Structure 1
Amino acid sequence: MSFVELLARLGGMGRFQVTYVAALAIPLLMLASHNLLQNFTAGVPEHHCRPRPVANATPADVPLVVSIPSDGHRRPQRCRRYVEPQWHLLDVNGSASAVANGTATEAATEPCHDGWTYLDGIFTDTIVTEWDLVCESKKLRQVAQSIYMAGILLGSGLFGVLSDKFGRRALLTWCYLQLGATGVGTAAAPSLLVYCLCRFLTGLAMAGVSLNSASLCMEWIPTEARAVVGTINGYCYTLGQFVLAAAAFALPRWRQLQLVVSLPFFVFFFYSWLYVESARWQVTSGRADLALRGLRKVARVNGRKEEGDKLSEEVLRALVRREPPLPGGAVAALVRTPGMRTVSCGVSFVWFSTSFAYYGLAMDLQGFGFNVYLSQLVFGAVDIPAKLLSVLVISCFGRRVAQGGSLALAGLCILANIFVPSELPTLRMAFAVVGKGALAASFNCAYIFSGELFPTVISTGRRGWAWGAPWPAWGGWWPPWSAWRPT
């Protein structure tokens, strides 16, 4: 008898599993909020230099045109101002002739030494306005997001190793607490440095939540239900994008928004103490007595108490001995033969390219020139039909056609946007939405490929969940190495 068969005897996808999946899925609604948060907390409003003070005149008495040069679209330049007021530009005829002769642009200019004036609009209070992340400092905005993603990258490997040592439930509980605490810390950050540090720690915790939620979820449900559960989790992430758009619209101040999307993790932290640790991990870690207690609780909740009473610690140890070890480990098996090296490189490239393009689109909503709240809703909504369509294409035409077609369509849409001028925001948005939908479909295909192209002992390992299974459903960042190896 295998562990999967044991779960079937104890109720399969019973009441315990349904409740467990629901409890683990609720936090997924908030994962998208943190991943895509800087679309709103780091929005860039319209701005221009603060005019140079003029003697015997208040700023309100000095027209902007004499202090700030215009750009090619007759709007105030964002990062330059005149060294001296250009009073002659107040004369309509003089202004016209100056523009025609180019003398208006030849006047000496300087950077914004006195700061910036931010105009009222969609974004009125963001980290950009608070710490002046514009002009020479505009790259710091992208640096902050990169630091957050670096936390996710490091956390994927770190918490994968730690969960093998300390257990899935303990690490998940800790990550809930860390994410809530660092999210609140981010909302209270007094400087950009502290903000980036808190965001890095948030990224670490995000990776831990994703990895250990997936492990707990997949190790407690039967094999035949994993595809359905993965789809449910995927749509929870999609719904989370709607939650983010609504919260950002209701809370235009970045600190309030940061706080609201972080506080729910304290609730998740408290109810996570009710989770049952993975029995498979407990047995392989020499805790057969605790595993037996957990399995009997599952059997009792599922109405299979008699089956649970028949179990013993020796039966559980025998289940582990039946699972053959991988010579050299799963990581080595991925590159041992030419065929496996080809498969591993191909699947890895698909994951990288899909994730890179997906987040490149999803994290630059302001660049499409549309209302950012509407863009977030549309970008989230397109995932719903895209994932359904990918399942139909896979069923009718196979995996390769679906995977190659979705990547090709995404690539064409992204390339097409290069040649679409900014004066056509609707067309640019349409290409971006179709491209993101194609990438969402690519994630579904990559999930299936990852589970089917590798031998069972590699793709499932002793954890009992498909290699890479949580990642396409929960956002698509790179699967941690610990997901490839047996416990």
Structure 2
Amino acid sequence: MPSLDDILENVGEFGRFQKQTFFILCLLSAAFTPVYVGVVFFGFIPEHRCVSPGVAELSQRCGWSLEEQLNHTVPEWGSHGAGFGSRCRRDAGGLNATGVRRYEVDWNATGVSCTDPLGSLGGNWSTVPLGSCQDGWVYDSPGTSLVTEFNLVCEDSWKLDLFQSSVNAGFLIGSINIGYIADRFGRKFCLLSTILANAVCGILLAFVPTYLWIVILRFLQGLVSKGCWTAGYILVTEVVGPTYRRMVGILYQMAFSVGLLVFDAVAYAIPQWRWLQLTVPLPSCFFLLYYWCLPESPRWLMSQGKNDKAMKIVSDIAKKNRKQMPSHLEDIKFEEEDSGKQSPSFLDLVRTPQMRKNTFILMYNWFTSSVLYQGLIMHMGLAAGNMYLDFLYSALVEFPAAFIIITTIDRVGRRYPWAAANLVAGAACLVTALVPEDIHWLKVIAACIGRMGITMAFEMVCFVNTELYPTYIRNLGVVVCSSLCDVGGVIVPFIVYRLVEVWQDLPLVVFTVLGLIAGGLVLLLPETKGRVLPETVEDVENFHGRSAAKAKKIYLHVQTSEVAHD
């Protein structure tokens, strides 16, 4: 009995129907960008300082420029420049104070000198006592962010970490639940319901007045948004033929990179975070029109025994692709595969040596890919350069990353390009950390190389994961391993935003260690290029043995037979 892939070879594997579906789902992939990396613009941390009563009046009387005012009235301004972390460190006396420090003097006192104000008040910068900020903050920024609206600095800076961690926690919980909905009620229903929920949460985020509600809605948005992106990925790969399946999967992820460029431009045009938050979910409202544009997955319909509906969609594919449905396929009936196969178990992932090694290495690489990818984006938002240009440069390098993957995986294989991508990402992070701040252009180049490397690693772990597990446990293996991606997303804001208070580039050192270890571990995995997908645990265990060569011979024999048959 022919499979759906056999039918698609006759009615078109990637014809006009599939191209239309692919294009509209790529729009959905691009719209996921603000949810995943929006913290860069929603939560950017501008230069800030403590409000000191009387300073403005004194500055006006003395005719100081802004820089003169800051040098005279802000502790250590000239010594730490733009580094915001030092605003919140302990003073020289070792007091356990975490707020921004200010001079404990009365700037409204009479007789304050304009040339040496601290000296005229009976001291100097090293002897005047420092106190915590009690009168608010001043932010040097033309726009607004979560940080400026809710004062998420110093003792409250952890709340920005929580803002990003909450959406990743939603990813972690939602991916499993949304996956169940997609398998139980269909890809199209799952897609439309999550689009609606994501749009509602995104719009409400722009209006809620309190930080608590922002975190709650951010979590709810995470619950549905990644599942929405995943449902689109599943649908687009299920309606194309096997020849194009990997290519459309990679290009679907590349559409996310296009979304990065668009989001950067929109954020530049709209520097107020609430207006930006209101703008980015609006396309999701138009995505509800997909009800009339998108088909249900014929594979899912077949798995549910809805053969008539599945064949109706196949007929639509043939008509749209201007192909003629072969007469012997028009009345075909699909039967579900024998359900007496082995049931998947979590223990099967670690029961045998090779399965256990694959599982732990894949889990670590999912974790590392998430930490480095999100971490580099967050760290870039804290750099001293132009945030929008740096974001643009680092987004552009994702396109050559996808091109390198497409051109190497079927020629060189998976393992060596994947390992090299991790090693390059780790090494580039170290170079970025060691380059002095005054050579900003070189730091940007090194960071972009790191971003390209981790983008390659992230995209490769997605499909290599499916090639290392037997059929009956493949879906469970991907769900379990990829869950570490969201665990990494929960942790990475605390790694970045806490460690920069110790040293601006300390997070990059952590990323270096993680990336280099990931690259080394990948080399311990078997090469899957040119191999048939494993069907049993025994196939996985024998990947490195003599049976691996046998599997390759079987694969080549089948390919040769197909060519001869054609």
The TM-score with structure 2 as length reference comes to 0.73
Cα distance in 1 between the residues matched to 2:431 and 2:278: 38
**Residue type at the aligned position of 1:2:** S
1:26-45 alignment, distance < 5 Å: 26-45=27-46
Cα distance in 1 between the residues matched to 2:219 and 2:60: 42
The answer to whether structure 1 residue 85 and structure 2 residue 106 are counterparts is: yes
Q: Give the superposition deviation at 1:8.
A: 2.3
Cα distance in 2 between the residues matched to 1:67 and 1:337: 66
Q: Number of residue pairs matched?
A: 462
Change (3 A) 1:272 1:146: same
Q: Give the superposition deviation at 1:478.
A: 8.1
Judge which range, 384-393 or 159-168, deviates more.
Answer: 384-393
Contact 1:67–1:85 (CA<8 Å) still a contact in 2? no
Cα distance in 2 between the residues matched to 1:247 and 1:309: 53
Which residue number in structure 2 is paired with residue 107 of structure 1? 128
Which residue number in structure 1 is paired with residue 515 of structure 2? none
1:214-247 C-alpha deviation (Å, 9 max, x unpaired): 1211111111111221232122111111101110
Q: Give the superposition deviation at 1:426.
A: 3.0
* RMSD of aligned Cα (Å): 3.3
Question: Which among 154, 166, 175 is matched to residue 185 of structure 2?
Answer: 166
The answer to whether structure 1 residue 153 and structure 2 residue 154 are counterparts is: no
Q: Structure 2: 5+ residue runs without aligned partners? A: 89-99, 489-534, 536-566
Q: Give the superposition deviation at 1:36.
A: 1.4
Contact 1:69–1:105 (CA<8 Å) still a contact in 2? no
Cα distance in 1 between the residues matched to 2:125 and 2:117: 10
Question: Which among 354, 371, 387 is matched to residue 369 of structure 2?
Answer: 354
Q: Give the superposition deviation at 1:286.
A: 3.6
1:366-409 C-alpha deviation (Å, 9 max, x unpaired): 22221010011111111112232344454554322212211111
Q: Structure 1: 5+ residue runs without aligned partners? A: 480-484
Contact 1:173–1:273 (CA<8 Å) still a contact in 2? no
1:48-98 C-alpha deviation (Å, 9 max, x unpaired): 11112589x688558746653233527695712223226787353676x79
Q: Give the superposition deviation at 1:22.
A: 1.2
Identity %: 28
Question: Which among 326, 329, 333 is matched to residue 315 of structure 1?
Answer: 333
The answer to whether structure 1 residue 130 and structure 2 residue 149 are counterparts is: yes
Which residue number in structure 2 is paired with residue 116 of structure 1? 137
Which residue number in structure 2 is paired with residue 404 of structure 1? 419
Which residue number in structure 2 is paired with residue 181 of structure 1? 200
Cα distance in 2 between the residues matched to 1:181 and 1:460: 30
Question: Which among 447, 453, 464 is matched to residue 468 of structure 2?
Answer: 453
Residue 104 of structure 1 aligns to a residue in which SS?
coil
Which residue number in structure 2 is paired with residue 71 of structure 1? 77
Contact 1:187–1:256 (CA<8 Å) still a contact in 2? yes
1:62-461 alignment, distance < 5 Å: 64=69, 67-71=73-77, 73=79, 77=87, 79-85=100-106, 90=113, 92=115, 103-121=124-142, 124-304=143-323, 306-307=325-326, 310-312=329-331, 315-316=333-334, 318=335, 320-321=336-337, 326-329=341-344, 333-394=348-409, 397-455=412-470, 458-459=473-474
Contact 1:296–1:309 (CA<8 Å) still a contact in 2? no
Contact 1:386–1:438 (CA<8 Å) still a contact in 2? yes
**Residue type at the aligned position of 1:188:** F
Change (3 A) 1:39 1:116: same
Residue 75 of structure 2 aligns to a residue in which SS?
coil
Cα distance in 2 between the residues matched to 1:442 and 1:206: 22
Q: Give the superposition deviation at 1:3.
A: 2.4
**Residue type at the aligned position of 1:135:** C
1:313-332 C-alpha deviation (Å, 9 max, x unpaired): x712x2x23x6764022755
Change (3 A) 1:394 1:232: closer
**Residue type at the aligned position of 1:73:** S
